[in-house]
Amino acid sequence: MSWNSSCNDGVLLRVGISDNKAGMEGLDKEKINKIIMEATKGSRFYENELKKDQQVNQRIEKMMRLKEKITTQQLLKAQLQVDKLVIELEQSRNLSNTIVHIDMDAFYAAVEMRDNPELKEKPIAVGSMSMLSTSNYHARRFGVRAAMPGFIAKKLCPHLTIVPLNFEKYGKVSKEVREILTEYDPNFMPMGLDEAYLNITEHLEERLNWPEDKRRFFFNTESTREKDKDDINMSAKFNEDGYSSSPVLFEDNTPLMDNRPEQRDQSVENSIVFGTSAEEVVKEIRFRIEQQTQLTASAGIAPNTMLAKMCSDRNKPNGQCRIAPERQAVIDFLKDLPIRKVPGIGKVTEKMLKALGIVTCSELYQQRALLSLLFSEASWRNFLDISLGLGSTHLEKDGERKSMSTERTFSEINSAEDQYSLCRELCRDLAQELQKEGLKGKTVTLKLKNVNFEVKTRASTVLSSVSTEEEIFAVAKDLLGTEIDSVAPHPLRIRLMGVRVSGFLSEEEKRYQQKSIKSFLKSGKETGFLRLQPGKSNREYFTKNSEASPRGSFFDKKRAARQLNSENLCPNESVGKQLFHDQKSSANFVEETKKVTDLQNSNLCKTFTCPVCFEKQSSNDLEELNRHIDECLNGTVVKDAMDISKNDNSRENTLNFLPHFKNENVDERQINKTDQLAGTDQFASASDNSASNSTEKFTQLIPDKPHRERQPSNLSDIAINVCMKQCLFPKRFSQDKGDHFEKTEHTEKNSSSCSFDTKEDSILVCPVCNLQQKTTSLVSFNRHVDVCLNKGLIQELTEKKDFPAMTSNTENSNRVGGLSRGQQCANPSQGTKRSGLTTSQSVSKKAKSCNSKHTIEMFFK
């Protein structure tokens, strides 16, 4: 991070932020940058950073070319449209909550200093020679910061003490802090170990009626913990900080005079009473944290999370800051605030915006029209929220986890053998974690970073969820094999490997799965599966079949060849060891399973009842069968979709139900938007030779695989897909990620509600409403699902559909796009909240009160 900002332009983000105030030793910006540069220059890392930087520059150039094409006309129109939105946003502004952001100061470093007095007054950092997690403020004067490798930090500050990470300790401290926080907001939201958001709105109300005693807290003079050393430390600290004499707690910039805690010591000398204002509450929290942990925290108080977070940054360390719940206070706060301070605006976004002359939040607001033309909808709306100071006003619990991963960095590994065993190890670790949470996912992603720091990910989605080491490895191994092959005969030289599992079943799906599929799979795996060749044990079966796969398809052979390859590369000892412990743990297990099912496929599928038309099909060619089903489904689906759209008397046509629906409805009231950006096509086609200059190793992608599965093209299609995914058609063959087909296992007749072998009276569980449906045909069941889905989706659309004029349109590809979460994280609910407010009723409300217009124009005056 540091090097980048230092070598590009004068705007130094973090390096050099720290002062050389006290005239203490330390380094000025230039010195710091010079040292970093020397340590960095010529390294592979640096080369890669340069490359990435150039990519960003290209993005910027693209954006600037796009900007050139924008006419005054377009800009004016955009201005009108955006300002309409601004009015709505302004009206939706909610200042009624009190959000607090608590941020422990230099957390890890502070903990280490607390526990080892030797380190006090020394520059220290926590981490390793390769990477630092944080540094204390002393070290920061030398430019030593988080995310900097230790060896460079050492060059900046030769006396730097680097303490290894000790997460257990930090976790314990964090827990202590959380116990305090929970008293103020039981639903508070921790963000990592050292940060949290609280909504203290309710607490404030209750607190008004609290007697003093409930707001009284005691200095922790006699140590309660770690008696051995703490007594001395503490008193020393108090003296040093001026705490012991007078309980003026915080020498931060916040004015203490008004609401200052009344310290008329009643009975107890060593106590302090806090007031009832938000500031007092936060002081109390910080006081208690410090008494409890001997660590200081900074805090921000504001009407929403984004502001609170930026606020807590203002007076750190050991300070707090509040933005009053008034629009003007918010605006004032933002006025000169550099956008980089905003959560969600990182290095890249900052640079792009800077290219447009935008550095502060007020500039961000001034350029709103331009931004709406240059960036994706999500991005510019986010920008607008930022510049208006809007953020989420309540704390959402984080939803379910979406992925789980593990990755490791190491010194170069280039032998395939080592790479496979490493991969297996990662899979093992990951599987263990997955099972702790009882998760199974359908997508496995392999991540590689080569010795030139180029990162590449390769993913594969399989039909049934995976969670065990063997299952994950079976997929990851193939991905790895492909990558190894792609650079052969050169070795794959990597410095990092990671494995991720995602695509977890939702709760809904889990329930469904349990009802039907689990039992089905079980019976399949344990009985149905073996029934194929009843006389043989698994092991016999596998060993037999691993050798000859008679009549294997082309894909089978290819796969077998690769497997053979990887078997050779896989150290046999590790496989053997596993087997020793667990028979099922053979590296080959999954692979063999696949082969067997492949075999099953080729043997069993000579006659086949199409689950859609219920006609018998006979074919040896899976592809042909699939084609038939596709056509069949298409027929049905298209018809269903037509029916639905006819019945729907709104103006929406089926297009509106596309997952990424293109909102073409033009509201009469709004400016017509005929002339979209002129240079659109040129821009789109101006796509270039980007990334063509990198080494041969990482630029080669896996050759495109044919996309057999239809893309969902409308809602019914999605419904069908849902059904398919959920195994409603146990007999359907679908494509595995590789170039071969794999069939889901058969269900026994009557053993599962999924069976479509009989036309009569099947009972199915709708994956949407989760209710059982009696049905005579798949078509009618599908119709039910469609209706169900429609209900849900229509509801969603009416909630989400907003600002027809703003959601302009089809050509997102022209936008420069690409901002990420951040806001989501800092303002988790703003999006949904806003959509909620912009339903038709609120729109009409807005229309009435257009007199707020002038307030907008006054903005930032």
Partner DNA sequence: CGGATCGAC
Partner DNA sequence: CTATGTCGATCCG
Site for DNA, residues 160 to 199, rule: CB under 7 A: 191-195
**Does a cis peptide bond (omega within 30 degrees of 0) precede residue 261?**
no
- The nearest distance, CB 457 to DNA, in angstroms, is 4
Contact between 406 and DNA (CB under 7 A)?
A: yes
Select the residue interacting with DNA from 27, 152, 331, 793 (CB under 7 A): 152
Contact between 455 and DNA (CB under 7 A)?
A: yes
Q: For residue 260, how many C-alpha atoms fall within 13 Å in the half-sphere facing its CB?
A: 13
Q: What CA–CA distance (Å, rounded) separates 414 from 567?
A: 17
- The nearest distance, CB 262 to DNA, in angstroms, is 35
- The nearest distance, CB 2 to DNA, in angstroms, is 7
Contact between 133 and DNA (CB under 7 A)?
A: yes
- The nearest distance, CB 271 to DNA, in angstroms, is 33
Contact between 8 and DNA (CB under 7 A)?
A: no
Q: What CA–CA distance (Å, rounded) separates 212 from 228?
A: 34
Question: CA-CA-CA-CA torsion for 253, 258, 260, 265, nearest 10 degrees?
Answer: 150
- Using the rule CB under 7 A, give the single segment among 211-219, 650-658, 667-675, 808-816 that binds DNA: 808-816
Nearer to DNA by Cβ, of 234 and 371: the residue is 371
Q: Which residues in the 314-353 window bind DNA by CB under 7 A?
A: 342-350
- Output the six-digit token pair for 589: 């297990």
- The nearest distance, CB 776 to DNA, in angstroms, is 29
Contact between 813 and DNA (CB under 7 A)?
A: yes
Nearer to DNA by Cβ, of 247 and 503: the residue is 503
Cβ count within 10 A of residue 149: 17
Select the residue interacting with DNA from 819, 830, 837, 846 (CB under 7 A): 819
Q: Which residues in the 657-696 window bind DNA by CB under 7 A?
A: 684, 687, 691
Nearer to DNA by Cβ, of 97 and 312: the residue is 312
Cβ count within 10 A of residue 211: 8
Nearer to DNA by Cβ, of 269 and 688: the residue is 688
Contact between 732 and DNA (CB under 7 A)?
A: no
Contact between 478 and DNA (CB under 7 A)?
A: no
Q: How many residues of this chain interact with DNA, rule: CB under 7 A?
A: 86
Select the residue interacting with DNA from 73, 457, 514, 855 (CB under 7 A): 457
Q: Which residues in the 361-390 window bind DNA by CB under 7 A?
A: 376-379
- The nearest distance, CB 177 to DNA, in angstroms, is 13
Select the residue interacting with DNA from 403, 665, 695, 840 (CB under 7 A): 403
- Are 428 and 467 in contact by the 8 Å Cβ rule? The answer is no
Nearer to DNA by Cβ, of 129 and 268: the residue is 129
- Output the six-digit token pair for 678: 């002129």
- The nearest distance, CB 255 to DNA, in angstroms, is 27
- The nearest distance, CB 39 to DNA, in angstroms, is 6
Residue 222 Cα to chain centre, angstroms:
45
Contact between 783 and DNA (CB under 7 A)?
A: no
Select the residue interacting with DNA from 405, 533, 734, 809 (CB under 7 A): 405
Select the residue interacting with DNA from 77, 114, 316, 815 (CB under 7 A): 815
What is the per-residue binding string for DNA in 295-314, x denoting contact by CB under 7 A? --------------x-----
Nearer to DNA by Cβ, of 162 and 331: the residue is 162
Nearer to DNA by Cβ, of 346 and 571: the residue is 346
- The nearest distance, CB 148 to DNA, in angstroms, is 6
- The nearest distance, CB 635 to DNA, in angstroms, is 23
Select the residue interacting with DNA from 52, 93, 327, 536 (CB under 7 A): 52
30-34: long-range pairs with CB below 8 Å, 24+: 32/2, 32/6, 32/142, 32/143, 32/156, 33/2, 33/3, 33/6, 33/7
Contact between 149 and DNA (CB under 7 A)?
A: yes
503-506: long-range pairs with CB below 8 Å, 24+: 503/441, 503/442, 503/443, 503/461, 503/465, 504/400, 504/401, 504/402, 504/403, 504/439, 504/440, 504/441, 504/442, 504/465, 505/440, 505/465, 506/400
Q: What CA–CA distance (Å, rounded) separates 611 from 734?
A: 13
Q: DSSP letter string over 742-778?
A: EEPPPPPTTTSTT--SS-S-EEEE-TTT--EEEESSH
- Using the rule CB under 7 A, give the single segment among 70-78, 124-132, 528-536, 847-855 that binds DNA: 124-132
Candidates 620, 684, 516, 543; CA nearest to 69 is 684
Largest CA distance in the chain: 93
Q: Which residues in the 218-277 window bind DNA by CB under 7 A?
A: none
- Are 278 and 65 in contact by the 8 Å Cβ rule? The answer is no
Contact between 459 and DNA (CB under 7 A)?
A: yes
Q: What CA–CA distance (Å, rounded) separates 203 from 213?
A: 16
- The nearest distance, CB 378 to DNA, in angstroms, is 3
What is the per-residue binding string for DNA in 492-531, x denoting contact by CB under 7 A? ---xx-x-x-xx----------------------------
The alpha carbon dihedral of 711, 716, 719, 724 has a sign of negative
- The nearest distance, CB 349 to DNA, in angstroms, is 3
- Output the six-digit token pair for 771: 């209710």
Contact between 129 and DNA (CB under 7 A)?
A: yes
What's the DSSP call for residue 102? E
Candidates 491, 518, 481, 497; CA nearest to 449 is 497
Candidates 543, 579, 568; CA nearest to 477 is 568
Q: What CA–CA distance (Å, rounded) separates 95 from 76?
A: 31
Nearer to DNA by Cβ, of 436 and 848: the residue is 436
Q: How far apart are the first and last CA of the chain?
A: 35
Select the residue interacting with DNA from 12, 56, 64, 769 (CB under 7 A): 56
Nearer to DNA by Cβ, of 457 and 603: the residue is 457
What is the per-residue binding string for DNA in 606-645, x denoting contact by CB under 7 A? ----------------------------------------
Contact between 726 and DNA (CB under 7 A)?
A: no
- The SS3 assignment for 322 reads strand
Residues 6+ apart with CB under 8 A from 435: 467, 468
Select the residue interacting with DNA from 268, 686, 702, 847 (CB under 7 A): 702
Nearer to DNA by Cβ, of 390 and 819: the residue is 819
Nearer to DNA by Cβ, of 317 and 831: the residue is 831
Nearer to DNA by Cβ, of 406 and 775: the residue is 406
- C-alpha distances out from residue 660 to 372, 663, 811, Å: 19, 9, 12
- Continuous segment of H or E residues that includes residue 365: helix 361-366
- The nearest distance, CB 485 to DNA, in angstroms, is 13
Q: Which amino acid is at 554?
A: F
- Using the rule CB under 7 A, give the single segment among 265-273, 292-300, 451-459, 766-774 that binds DNA: 451-459
Which of 101-112 are b and which e, b meaning 16 or more Cβ less than 10 Å from the residue's Cβ? Answer: bbbbbbbbbbbb
Using a 10 angstrom Cβ sphere, with 0-12 exposed, 13-18 middle and 19 or more buried, the burial of residue 498 is buried
- Using the rule CB under 7 A, give the single segment among 175-183, 454-462, 665-673, 753-761 that binds DNA: 454-462
- Using the rule CB under 7 A, give the single segment among 38-46, 111-119, 250-258, 778-786 that binds DNA: 38-46
- Are 422 and 492 in contact by the 8 Å Cβ rule? The answer is no
- Are 610 and 629 in contact by the 8 Å Cβ rule? The answer is yes
